[in-house]
Structure 1
Amino acid sequence: MSNFLESLYSQATFNLKPSPIREMLHLIRRPGMISFAGGMPDPEIFPVEQFKEAAGILDREGKDVLQYGTTEGYLPLKEFLAEWTAPKMGRKLATDEILITTGSTQIVDLLSWVLIDKGDWVICEEPTFLGATLTMRNHGASFLTVPCDENGMKVDMIPEMVEKARKEGKKVKFIYTIVNFHNPLGCDLSLERRKKLIEIAEKYNLLILEDDPYGYVRFDGEEIPSIFSMDTSGRVVFACSFSKILAPGTRVAWCAGNKEVIRKMTVFKQGVDVCTSVVAQAMVYEYCRLGHLDSFLPKIIDHYRKKRDAMEEAFRKYLPQGEVKWLTPRGGFFYWLETPKVKAKDLFEKAVEKKVAFVLGEPFFPNGGGEHNFRMCFTFASKEQTEEGISRLGEALRELL
């Protein structure tokens, strides 16, 4: 039977790679396991009552929102986003500059349909979000990876990379960057580097996909202007989502960009899922219209700030000093740790024996690396679980050292 199927599979199927995080779910769900692996929001802070109130839109518009909707998105939600995002975007968007999608991974998928031919190249951070690179790779992309420091991607390295690649006949299409509270690094791309990135995109005729799923979940420091707000020629597609600022179960995200690019993404979306759930979009809109997004978001931020502080405190208390390196994120969901003397895979195996889990660093490196790195999510576990889990992690690390 398998030989029969192999003769029918597409080439893409033979190159298919599953998400390591999704593949870990069976492990994470073992009884007694404390997980810092999946980048999941805390269900304890989900605005259940407020969202139930938003379901009242079904009383008024149920016959409409239970019907097929436009592929571009539910117009009242787009009009709300045009106003609400104006401070971050630098201006009020036109509704035809916005596309509502089914989660932000669909933005990566649709833009890949628009821009990537098999064998094309994408510039991204090293490491970067594995969900995005898996999607791009499925479209046939390869990656030029740029190292990072506490100020994000070292953008000064990009020109030489692009010139070398083009001399070798490679087609470089766009730059993918996670600008705020990077997944997995936790750092911000500095203002200076954002400005430089726009200049580079202009000079080398590249687009920028500015992925910002965590930007509204800032704990400390001043907000840094978006790359989109600096763009004067329509080179930036900005991606964001309600997953972190409301709840991921809504599966409602949005992107903003050049009208021509948005239109082409929309046409591809017609063949992917026709439209994002109109019911979900309408309920998200009503939630926003009732003022819950603005009133509840500070509670989410405060809740996660306390969780970050609890993890930071536990690191200092339980991890062997001088043997582990990390950057304290100013927002978002993640810590990125480095253990120079211990391989993360060995630590993972020892930690799982003690019923604590994290995500290995290697899958976040599209071209290899990360053997001594791992990612820890601080948003999902309770404060007590964080304390206990990192105590166990410290034991595991000391045993290996």
Structure 2
Amino acid sequence: MTDDLSGGPRPKGRSARDLERYAGLFASRTRVMKSSAMRDLMALTERPEVISLAGGLPDTSTFPAEDFAAIMAKVAVDSSAAALQYGPTEGLGRVKDVIAHVMAAEGTKVDTGDVLVTTGGQQVIDLVCKTLLDPGDVVVAEAPTYPGAIPSFCAYQADVVQVEMDDDGMRIDVLEETLERLDREGRTPKFIYTIPSFQNPAGVTMSLERRKRLVEIAHARELLVLEDNPYGLLRYEGEPLPTLRTLDGGEFVIYLGTFSKILSAGLRLGWAVAPGPVLQKMNLGKQGADLCSSSLTQYFVAQYFAEGRWEPYLAQLKQLYRRRRDVMLDALAEHFPAEATWTRPQGGLFVWATLPDAIDTTDLLVRALTRNVAFVPGRGAFMDGRGGASMRINFSGVPDDDIREGVRRIGEVVAEQLELFGSISGTRPAGGGKRPQAEQRRDEAGMADVLRLPRRRANG
């Protein structure tokens, strides 16, 4: 098999004409299905020489190999038959108890009867779409939004309406205007999708005032909200904020959680907490998808948490990721042009950077890959072609030196592109110089949360 960046694996030796014979067999939804911007990069970034700032990868090398071996040995001795067997679709009771414990650590109390264990957090997005969406139904999402959610929305033929953000997250005033416009058009959204804490890809966090107002709107309109919260426990500074689920009390918020960022992505274990009738339909959808999530990984998680290992490990991760975030911010200040902007996240895994308008990051990525460095172009986070000058860069998955070198290589390619633009146009675009690190640090000291969220061009 070979890799096709526009659509995944492609059989060797197949011509376009050969493939046309199957065209009449495909469901109509396949015409609007899109590949994830991150998944497209995975094959390329597996090359050892590539510094990948593209993935949303936790650093699994920090998990002690001896702990992994000991936990698996314990599962093998005590529960091998059950761990190798099918389990209940809704998940093992022991794991649901763990989930309630993890959510309580963020101040969110849940009844385990409202929990559905899933195959990663991504399955929650898919199940919510499967449960709620008919073709043409409206989903409201942030702009930019999680690039991995876009393929799910497209697969279920949703009409995605994006609401702009600023340093305090989704602009609720714009959301209200959007909902009123949709009312006039006779269209009611099936749900609002938001990542309120350390948003992917923007890195910003929704303020408490906006969280409260969003929940008020959901109650007033009886409108469901899908709260995607994979990073809530990865806070490096600032005061914790209540989840939307806490503020809602369990009526209109569907909560998405995952072990991917606080333990291991390879476990492929996440969960949903939802109102009873919604959860029942999601359970039916999951039965048709995979019967149940892996019993083996569920037993691993249950044993790991039973031994009280998770909080010290989480503290270690937070210390590591905070340092890497600071390394990336310093590298951006040193190597990116003076007019570039980027967010300064209080937690999570990502920085969102916007370059001068002369740069298109989709084209820039092609050039960056020749220097063996990768990032996610900004257009992958929008449905309408915006984000052309922006990029998502990840600081959690690579060592400090690779962060510095990766940002340096991107900055080098940006400088070359700006120089080329200047030679062709006869003008020097804004942002041709570098921002002194001392000036950048002064800017950061004056911002409690993030730097100015990158500007959006109306035409992309």
TM-score bucket (shorter structure): over 0.9
User: Is residue 222 of structure 1 aligned with residue 224 of structure 2?
Assistant: no
Question: TM-score, with normalisation over the residues of structure 1?
Answer: 0.96
Q: Matched residues in 2 for 1:249 and 1:178: separation?
A: 22
Is 1:325 matched up with 2:347?
no
Q: CA deviation at 1:262?
A: 1.2
When structure 1 is superposed on structure 2, of 180-189 and 33-42 the one drifting more is 33-42
Where does 1:122-201 land on structure 2 (aligned, <5 Å)? Answer: 122-201=139-218
- CA deviations 1:30-73 (Å, max 9, x no partner) are 45222111111123213433232222122112122221100010
Map 1:329-340 to 2 at 5 A. 329-340=345-356
Deviations along 1:118-143, whole A, 9 cap, x unmatched? 11001110000011121122112111
* Alignment partner, residue 106 of structure 1: 123
Deviation string 1:132-174 (CA, Å, 9 cap, x unpaired) is: 1211221121111110011000011122212221322323111
Contact 1:107 1:239 in 2 (8 A): yes
Amino acid in the other structure paired with 1:298? A
Q: 1 CA distance for matches of 2:210 and 2:65?
A: 39
Q: Does 380-389 or 218-227 show the bigger shift? A: 380-389
Cα displacement (A) at 1:351: 2.2
1:70 aligns with 2:119: no
What do you get for the CA RMSD once the two structures are aligned?
A: 1.5
Q: Which runs of structure 2 are paired with 1:6-25 in the superposition (5 Å)?
A: 6-25=23-42
Deviations 1:232-253 (A, max 9, x none): 4610011111101011000011
Contact 2:34 2:150 in 1 (8 A): no
User: For residues 191-239 of structure 1, what are the alpha-carbon distances to aligned partners after superposition, in whole Å with 9 as ceiling and x for unaligned?
Assistant: 1000000111112221010001111111111111101001146100111
Report how many aligned residue pairs link the two structures.
Answer: 399
Structure 1 residues 74-83 or 273-282, which shifts more?
74-83
The answer to whether the Cα contact below 8 Å between 2:32 and 2:157 also exists between their aligned partners in 1 is no
Q: Which has the higher contact order (CA 8 A, sep 6+)?
A: 1
- The answer to whether the aligner puts 1:28 opposite 2:45 as a matched pair is yes
Q: CA deviation at 1:84?
A: 3.4
Conserved? CA contact 1:88–1:225, under 8 Å: yes
For the 8 Å contact 1:335–1:376, the answer to whether it is kept is yes
Alpha-carbon offset, residue 89 of structure 1: 5.0
Query: 1: distance between equivalents of 2:93 and 2:327?
Result: 41
Mapped contact 1:172–1:206 kept (Cα < 8 A): yes
Query: 5 Å matches for 1:303-322?
Result: 303-320=320-337, 322=338
Work out whether 1:80 is the aligned partner of 2:98: yes
Instruction: Report whether the alignment pairs 1:380 with 2:397.
Output: yes
Distance change >3 Å, CA 266–CA 6, structure 1 → 2: same
Higher mean C-alpha displacement, 237-246 vs 21-30 = 21-30
Identity value in percent: 37
After the TM superposition, which parts of structure 1 deviate over 4 Å for at least 4 consecutive aligned residues? none
Determine whether 1:252 maps to 2:252.
Answer: no
Question: Contact 1:361/1:373 (CA < 8 Å) preserved in 2?
Answer: yes
Aligned residue for 1:364? 381
Structure 2 residue matching 1:146: 3-state secondary structure:
strand
Query: If the length of structure 2 is used for normalisation, what is the TM-score?
Result: 0.84
Letter of the aligned partner of 1:229 in structure 2? Answer: T
Q: Secondary structure at the match of 2:120?
A: coil
Structure 2: distance between partners of 1:393 and 1:51: 36
| Structure 2: runs of 5 or more not aligned | 1-17, 419-460
Q: Secondary structure at the match of 2:287?
A: helix
Distance (Å, rounded) in 2 between the aligned partners of 1:37 and 1:223 = 27
Q: Are the counterparts in 1 of residues 355 and 389 from structure 2 also a CA contact under 8 Å?
A: yes
3-state secondary structure, aligned to 1:24 = helix
Name the CA distance, whole Å, in 1 between partners of 2:386 and 2:170: 16
Contact 2:106 2:233 in 1 (8 A): no
Q: 1:204 aligns with which of 218, 221, 237?
A: 221
The alignment partner of 2:129 has SS state of: helix
SS of 1:111 mapped into structure 2: helix
1:360 Cα deviation (Å)? 0.4
Partner of 2:284: 267
Give the direction of change, closer, same or farther, for the CA distance of 1:106–1:89 in structure 2 (3 Å limit): farther
